[in-house]
Amino acid sequence: DAEITQSPRHKITETGRQVTLACHQTWNHNNMFWYRQDLGHGLRLIHYSYGVQDTNKGEVSDGYSVSRSNTEDLPLTLESAASSQTSVYFCASSDRESPLHFGNGTRLTVT
């Protein structure tokens, strides 16, 4: 079955370090998204991509970057981790007129 795999499931890092969260999908979807989930805020869009070499900023993109070199992967990089970036991160993918399919999330703690 097709799926989205996120790694790691849990990550603890220190303030100022660069961190990369991996996302790999086997749906062959063009569209991929990164969300963060925080209490009281629901899911907020960080970055998204509509295809290879395409990336776009979402509503909370400051301090994050993504790259799309192939269809399957959209890694999310925190350039210099901050405590405010402690959160649960979800990767998702979709195609036109299809639902979003989610990974199981990465819990990131920045100390």
**Could you list the residues that contact another protein (CB under 8 A)?**
4, 31, 33, 35, 40-43, 45, 48, 50, 90, 92, 94-97, 99-105
Smallest distance, another protein to C-beta of residue 8, A: 14
Q: What angle do CA 23, 74, 3 make, to 5 degrees?
A: 40
Contact 75, 66 (CB under 8 A): yes
CB of 38 to another protein, least distance (A): 10
Q: CB nearer to another protein: give 9 or 17.
A: 9
Nearer to another protein, 73 or 100 (CB): 100
Give least dist CB 94 to another protein, A.
Answer: 6
Residue type, 28: N
Q: Look at residues 57, 4, 55, 12 and name the one whose alpha carbon lies nearest to residue 29.
A: 4
Residue 84 φ/ψ, nearest 5 degrees? -70, -10
Nearer residue to another protein within complex by CB, 64 or 90:
90
